Amino acid sequence: MATSNKTFSPSRAVARGTPEHTTALSDISKIITILQTPKPTPSSYIWLDFCQRTTILTFTSRSLSFVSTHPEPQPS
Task: Give the tens place of pLDDT for each residue, 9-36.
Answer: 444 444 444 444 444 556 666 766 766 6
Q: Percent of the chain, pLDDT > 90?
A: 0
Note the pLDDT of residue 50. 47
Res 71 pLDDT > 50: yes
Domain-embedded: residue 11: yes
Domain-embedded: residue 8: yes
Domain-embedded: residue 75: no
State the Cα–Cα distance between residues 66 and 58, nearest whole angstrom: 6
Range of the domain at 14: 3-69
Q: Which three-class secondary structure state does DSSP give residue 75?
A: coil
Domain-embedded: residue 76: no
Note the pLDDT of residue 25. 58
Domain-embedded: residue 34: yes
Structural domains of the chain, count: 1
* Beta-carbon count within 10 A of 23 CB: 10
Domain-embedded: residue 74: no
Domain-embedded: residue 17: yes
State the Cα–Cα distance between residues 16 and 11, nearest whole angstrom: 10
Domain-embedded: residue 58: yes
